[in-house]
A and B are shown apart, each in its own frame.
Chain A
Amino acid sequence: MRILHKCAPFALGIILSGCGTSPSFLNPASSIAEHEAKLYNNILIMALVVFVFVEICLIWVLIRDRKLKGDDTLPQQIYGNTKLEITWTAIPVLVAVVLFAMTVQTMKSVAAPAASATDINLHVIGHRWWWEFDYTDLRIKTANELHIPVGATVQITLDSVDVIHSFWVPQLSGKTDVVPGQTNRMWLTADQTGNFFGQCAEFCGTEHAMMRINVVVDSQDRFDAWVANQQKPVPQPQTEDEQAGYKLVSTLCASCHSLNPGETETKVGPNIAHLFSRSTFAGATYDLNEENLRSWLHDTQPMKPENDMNLKLTPQEIDELVAYLLLLK
């Protein structure tokens, strides 16, 4: 059994070729995902034992008991066997009890720890089709890209401003639905640094596929530096273009996108105070660089159909906007 235990996940690992690059909970980066993976593997082994047993019986019967040509004798008429039937009812009941115990145990292991002063408190808000991350204690707001320090306990509350979404970063934790009118809770932790892919897991409309999450797990130092940068107010525009761009942003964009990193109001669009500190945009689906930003500002719809941003900008306005936005690091 012990060998099986070690081999099954390994065999699965081979099947999951590219597992190293897959956002799979079988490649866990947190104790939560690790518990879940262990439970998955244990049940997989149980299921495989049943599967192999039944399919071997089936194939064996099919070969052994096939009707041979010219054999016209009747098979023995067997109507049932009470002892056998009780056995194959009782065994699954016992298995169900074992499964139940395993479920309870893992649920205990992955339950959120009691709140403590060192926790990071995070408010996740689902929008069609992007994620808003509000670090309530740090007075930081960001979008789609979540920074957390390695080893920290992140206590999360989840809300939606529109439809149901589901927050899921497989290598860090299972998913929790983001339900309008109901504040759900979950927690996260990561035991290694790196980038972890996540995605909205509940169908939420046209661009459900383009509502992704990039979790950046940093060392504590780097996280602190990131926080310090995010808390800074936006820089003042210098050149003429930048000034014109700033004007455009504050008139055209500000009703949906806040330039205040500590904004408390939930806006229609992502906070852009430190836009260029992020590596992606539009629901973590496009790399954030000048070229992509320009084509986004030119027309957002081909890049992400049916999103709420509909602007008709002149090439000059785009130049000015980009000049200013590039300052928002």
Chain B
Amino acid sequence: MTAQTDIVVKRRAPVVGGLISWLLTVDHKRIGILYLLSASLFFLVGGLEALLIRIQLARPENTFLSPDTYNQVFTMHGTTMIFLVVMPLAAGFGNYMVPLMIGARDMAFPKLNALSFWTFLFGGLFMYSSFVFGGAPNFGWFSYAPGTEKLYSPTHGMDFWILGILMLGLATTIGSLNFIVTIIQLRAPGLSLTRLPLFVWTMTVTSFLAVFSLPSLTTAVLLLFLDRQLGAHFYNVVQGGSALLWQHLFWFFGHPEVYILILPAMGIVSEVIPVFSGKPLFGYPAVVFSAIAIGFLGFTVWAHHMFATGMPSTTLLFFAADSFLIGVPTGVKIFAWLATMWKGKLRFATPMLFAIGFVAMFLIGGLDGIHLAVVPVDWQLTDTYYVVSHLHYVLFGGALFGIFSGVYYWFPKMTGRRLQEGLGKWHFWLMFIGMNLVFMPMHILGLQGMPRRIYTYGAGRGWEVWNFVETIGAFIIATSIMIFIVNFFASLRMAATNEEDPWDGFTLEWKTASPPPVYNFAEIPSVRSRRPLWDEKHPELADWRVEE
């Protein structure tokens, strides 16, 4: 073991300090931090775009944004939050935490890891540079052909989007393969798959989902690029192409993508809830199996995004049935989290608040999703604000709350300091109230017949009040984010306490210094159960006694 440490130290020795060392780093922890910080900056930009949308829609017939600007803004809001925020945030935590949680010294391919990060950052910046070069993409994150053909989208925005997506897809593919190899190959002695922390499990499933679904998106955008630049006609109906080909290719990626976004957050919540309840995760095998089931079923429901496209009723019913079924493993998870808290000793620190918020809000996103899987109801509600509400309960109330839970949970590990609890609670409650003010009324607007992606609406249809309430909610969320930023910098300025294990944790990342040394562990730990640290702290109640 010591020999290995020496090698690592030697490799680091000639590296210069300061900013350059961050540019050249291949250390999984530094790359993780780079991912987290870049994605946070994109989060602020995507959030500003959301505010612009909400200002425009606050009043009927508002002229705050021109139609084309509005379309660019909502396109970039969606693209940013999905590809440049939630995915890289999960990749950031994954990079930092997976090697620590499995007792490894780094990812399997450190240089590929750096390549993946820089490809992601460059892809994101490239896409945003379109604002300077004649206009951003303006046809939605879903970019439905043939509206994205050159004839209908003549600016270069779509080309920037296509090339940006290719880069981001490449970055994710490289990163996912790295995760898969790392998790399969570099686990500490005794850390069998059946003992893997839940976050590591969900990162595994997520990585497989990405590797198998991204080729479909890559194909879709490459064909579109050929159409636009070389006069091919894959989506060009007049010359024998197919308009719906895009939708099938896109959603074959797009639905697994939803699980790529939510599974890592589910993993975080499955780490946080047990620790702050003082109990093991209830029904670990069922929770792991449900994540895998979601991974498989996630590939069989894509056409529920296309119920109104004129498919035959057998096809409709097949996809409706599969969509109902995917609710089953999701339900298993929610009940497992509840049962984990049941008769625990709950500590309501901020990571736990966000994890509970996740359970409460994700539930809404699951239940209103049922309406959208029911074909005749979907014919009414698809492409309305009901869908916007649903997806934000999943991705904001779900993915983002999970990620914030992770931020508060792992910040002490990364920096040696806790985020301040008081400000953290303000952040949580304002965000919780704000998100419900924004997204709950969207259900009503959808029922009242308001379509999504409209830059303006007329008065007198009952839409004004709710739109105004939503705009207020958006600013409450913005306030909560500002509190978080203050907390972030204020906490960084505090003296480091370097607590190794501030939350009384269960998994291996709490077994090393905060922040961890370059080589992570002086001695590679060996593992006998799902909660190695619990075993150490409570040998008389050790998990391996039960599990074995």
Interface residues of A (CB under 8 A from B): 12, 15-19, 21-26, 33, 35-36, 39-40, 43-44, 46-47, 50-51, 54-55, 57-58, 61-62, 65-67, 71, 73-81, 84-85, 88-89, 92-93, 95-96, 99-100, 102-104, 106-107, 110-111, 128, 162-164, 166, 168, 170, 173-177, 179-182, 184-185, 197, 199-210, 285, 305-306
Out of A50, A74, A210, which one reaches B278, CB within 8 Å?
A74
Does A61 lie within 8 Å of B321, measured CB to CB? no
Give A62 to B376 CA distance when docked, in angstroms.
38
A244 to nearest B CB, angstroms? 35
Task: Provide the residues of chain A in CB contact with B449, threshold 8 Å.
Answer: 22-25, 170, 197, 199
Out of B146, B282, B455, which one reaches A163, CB within 8 Å?
B146
Top 9 nearest A-B pairs (CB, nearest first) are A174-B379, A18-B462, A181-B237, A209-B454, A184-B310, A96-B324, A23-B449, A22-B448, A80-B283
A228 to nearest B CB, angstroms? 32
Interface string of B477-520 (1 = CB under 8 A from A): 00000000000000000000000000000000000000000000
Out of A96, A106, A182, which one reaches B327, CB within 8 Å?
A96
Does B364 make an interface contact (CB < 8 A)?
yes
Task: Provide the residues of chain B in CB contact with A61, threshold 8 Å.
Answer: 338, 341-342, 346
Does B53 make an interface contact (CB < 8 A)?
no
Interface residues of B (CB under 8 A from A): 66-68, 71, 138-140, 144, 146-147, 152-153, 237-238, 241-244, 277-280, 282-286, 308-310, 313, 316-317, 320-321, 324-325, 327-328, 331-332, 334-336, 338-339, 341-348, 356, 359-360, 363-364, 367-368, 370-371, 373-380, 382-384, 444, 447-449, 451-458, 460-463, 465, 538, 541, 543, 546-547
Give A230 to B462 CA distance when docked, in angstroms.
34
Does A176 lie within 8 Å of B310, measured CB to CB? yes
Does A85 lie within 8 Å of B286, measured CB to CB? yes
Q: Which residue of B lies closest to A169 (CB)?
A: B449
Does A47 lie within 8 Å of B368, measured CB to CB? yes
Does A205 lie within 8 Å of B371, measured CB to CB? no
Task: Provide the residues of chain A in CB contact with B451, threshold 8 Å.
Answer: 168, 199-201
Does A176 lie within 8 Å of B308, measured CB to CB? yes
Task: Provide the residues of chain B in CB contact with A166, threshold 8 Å.
Answer: 308, 383
Q: Which residue of B lies closest to A198 (CB)?
A: B449
Does B346 lie within 8 Å of A164, measured CB to CB? no
Does A43 lie within 8 Å of B331, measured CB to CB? no
Does A43 lie within 8 Å of B371, measured CB to CB? yes
Does A23 lie within 8 Å of B346, measured CB to CB? no
Contact A177 B310, CB 8 Å, known A93-B328, A164-B243: yes
Task: Provide the residues of chain A in CB contact with B371, threshold 8 Å.
Answer: 40, 43-44, 47
Tell me if A's interface is mostly helix, strand, loop or mixed.
mixed
Give A74 to B198 CA distance when docked, in angstroms.
22
Give A157 to B264 CA distance when docked, in angstroms.
45
Does B363 lie within 8 Å of A43, measured CB to CB? no
B547 to nearest A CB, angstroms? 8
Task: Provide the residues of chain B in CB contact with A100, threshold 8 Å.
Answer: 317, 320-321, 324
Does A39 lie within 8 Å of B332, measured CB to CB? no
Q: 14 A-B contacts, Cβ less than 8 Å apart?
A: A25-B449, A62-B346, A65-B341, A78-B280, A81-B282, A96-B328, A100-B324, A106-B374, A107-B376, A175-B380, A180-B238, A181-B242, A206-B71, A209-B457
Q: Which residue of B lies closest to A49 (CB)?
A: B367
Give A164 to B140 CA distance when docked, in angstroms.
13
Does A77 lie within 8 Å of B279, measured CB to CB? yes
Out of A102, A204, A306, which one reaches B374, CB within 8 Å?
A102
Does B347 lie within 8 Å of A85, measured CB to CB? no
Does A50 lie within 8 Å of B367, measured CB to CB? yes
Out of A12, A89, A205, which one reaches B139, CB within 8 Å?
A205
Task: Provide the residues of chain B in CB contact with A204, threshold 8 Å.
Answer: 147
Contact A107 B462, CB 8 Å, known A54-B338, A180-B237: no
Task: Provide the residues of chain A in CB contact with B144, threshold 8 Å.
Answer: 163-164, 202-203
Task: Provide the residues of chain B in CB contact with A92, threshold 8 Å.
Answer: 327-328, 331
Task: Provide the residues of chain B in CB contact with A206, threshold 8 Å.
Answer: 67-68, 71, 138
Out of A21, A66, A185, A305, which one reaches B67, CB within 8 Å?
A305
Q: Which residue of A lies closest to B313 (CB)?
A: A107
Give A39 to B375 CA distance when docked, in angstroms.
10
Contact A65 B377, CB 8 Å, known A185-B310, A305-B68: no
Known: A16-B444, A79-B280, A93-B325. 17 other contacts (CB 8 A): A17-B462, A24-B449, A36-B380, A51-B363, A65-B345, A74-B538, A103-B376, A166-B308, A173-B379, A179-B244, A180-B146, A197-B449, A203-B452, A205-B147, A206-B71, A209-B454, A305-B66
Give A166 to B309 CA distance when docked, in angstroms.
9
A16 to nearest B CB, angstroms? 6
A71 to nearest B CB, angstroms? 7
Interface centre among B317, B342, B451 (most CB of A within 10 A): B451
Q: Which residue of A lies closest to B446 (CB)?
A: A24
Task: Provide the residues of chain A in CB contact with B448, threshold 8 Å.
Answer: 16, 18-19, 22-24
Does A179 lie within 8 Å of B67, measured CB to CB? no
Give A208 to B144 CA distance when docked, in angstroms.
13
Give A99 to B546 CA distance when docked, in angstroms.
39
Q: Which residue of A lies closest to B345 (CB)?
A: A67
A34 to nearest B CB, angstroms? 11
Does A103 lie within 8 Å of B374, measured CB to CB? yes
Give A41 to B120 CA distance when docked, in angstroms.
44
Task: Provide the residues of chain B in CB contact with A104, threshold 8 Å.
Answer: 317
Give A25 to B450 CA distance when docked, in angstroms.
11
Task: Provide the residues of chain B in CB contact with A39, threshold 8 Å.
Answer: 374, 376-377
Does B332 lie within 8 Å of A88, measured CB to CB? yes
Out of A103, A163, A170, which one reaches B320, CB within 8 Å?
A103
A77 to nearest B CB, angstroms? 6
Give A197 to B459 CA distance when docked, in angstroms.
13
Give A203 to B153 CA distance when docked, in angstroms.
13
Does B282 lie within 8 Å of A103, measured CB to CB? no
Task: Provide the residues of chain B in CB contact with A93, threshold 8 Å.
Answer: 325, 328
Give A21 to B464 CA distance when docked, in angstroms.
12
Task: Provide the residues of chain B in CB contact with A54, threshold 8 Å.
Answer: 334, 338, 363
Task: Provide the residues of chain A in CB contact with B309, threshold 8 Å.
Answer: 177, 179, 184
Give A104 to B451 CA distance when docked, in angstroms.
26
A216 to nearest B CB, angstroms? 17
Q: Which residue of B lies closest to A57 (CB)?
A: B338
Does A74 lie within 8 Å of B376, measured CB to CB? no
Task: Provide the residues of chain B in CB contact with A174, threshold 8 Å.
Answer: 308, 376, 378-380
A88 to nearest B CB, angstroms? 4
Task: Provide the residues of chain B in CB contact with A71, threshold 8 Å.
Answer: 345
Out of A43, A95, A103, which one reaches B317, CB within 8 Å?
A103
Q: Which residue of A lies closest to B71 (CB)?
A: A206
B72 to nearest A CB, angstroms? 10
Give A179 to B383 CA distance when docked, in angstroms.
15
Does B283 lie within 8 Å of A76, measured CB to CB? no
Q: Which residue of A lies closest to B456 (CB)?
A: A209
Give A55 to B321 CA distance when docked, in angstroms.
26
Does B140 lie within 8 Å of A203, measured CB to CB? yes
Does A163 lie within 8 Å of B152, measured CB to CB? yes
Does A99 lie within 8 Å of B335, measured CB to CB? no
Task: Provide the residues of chain B in CB contact with A168, threshold 8 Å.
Answer: 451
Task: Provide the residues of chain B in CB contact with A128, threshold 8 Å.
Answer: 152
Task: Provide the residues of chain A in CB contact with B346, threshold 8 Å.
Answer: 61-62, 65-67
Does A85 lie within 8 Å of B332, measured CB to CB? yes
Contact A67 B347, CB 8 Å, known A107-B316, A179-B244: yes
Does B147 lie within 8 Å of A103, measured CB to CB? no
Does B367 lie within 8 Å of A76, measured CB to CB? no
Does A55 lie within 8 Å of B363, measured CB to CB? yes
A80 to nearest B CB, angstroms? 4
Task: Provide the residues of chain A in CB contact with B336, threshold 8 Å.
Answer: 85
Task: Provide the residues of chain A in CB contact with B376, threshold 8 Å.
Answer: 35-36, 39, 103, 106-107, 110, 174
Interface centre among A40, A95, A96 (most CB of B within 10 A): A96
Does B68 lie within 8 Å of A80, measured CB to CB? no
